[in-house]
Amino acid sequence: MTAPHGVAMSVPLANVIPHYASAPGKAILAYAGSERTDAIFAQPVQAFTQHTITRRDVWDKEMTEIRAQGYALNAGEYWEDTLGIAVPVFDRTGAAVASIGNSTSRSEFDQRYIERAAGVLQAVASTLSSALGFTPRAF
């Protein structure tokens, strides 16, 4: 299948993308304990593109932004021309145990896309989280 502007993305089966370089991984890691981040940055972080976050201070700022906005973005951090958005799925204990996301080409990715995709993904993630017994806390 070809995307509307002629760009198609195919990911080989069993391809493993590091959590720190993908929107789905970042959506989960934003809610993981600091020991997960410590483990990532305990050794040099591989840069796959010029956009891959390899510095701890930049990473910590990004994780704060993800928690504030409720979704993670991947701005060409693994594949240069591919951008993604993902939201976490929580279990009954409030742990982020999965994520759901979407990737598209850079030409399709703009603020309108982010707003539309974030809303849809958050609705689906909320349904999945509820099915896992998650109940959001009232503030």
| Pairing mode, strands 72-75 and 96-105 | unpaired
Task: Evaluate if residue 99 carries a pLDDT over 90.
Answer: yes
* Amino acid 111: pLDDT: 82
48 band by pLDDT with thresholds 50, 70 and 90: very high
Q: Tell me the pTM.
A: 0.84
3-state secondary structure of 126: helix
Please say whether the beta carbons of 54 and 106 come within 8 A: no
d(CA 27, CA 70): 8
Task: Evaluate if residue 7 carries a pLDDT over 80.
Answer: no
Higher pLDDT, 97 or 19: 97
* Amino acid 2: pLDDT: 44
d(CA 83, CA 21): 11
Name 74's bridge partners.
84
* Amino acid 85: pLDDT: 94
Q: What is the mean pLDDT of the chain?
A: 87
Contacts for 108 with CB less than 8 Å, ≥ 6 apart: 3, 4, 5, 7
CATH code 3.30.450.40 for 19-131:
yes
Q: Tens digits of per-residue pLDDT, 13-47?
A: 556 788 899 999 999 999 998 898 899 999 999 99
Tokens 């990715």: give the residue. Answer: 109
d(CA 77, CA 83): 8
138 band by pLDDT with thresholds 50, 70 and 90: low
d(CA 42, CA 108): 35
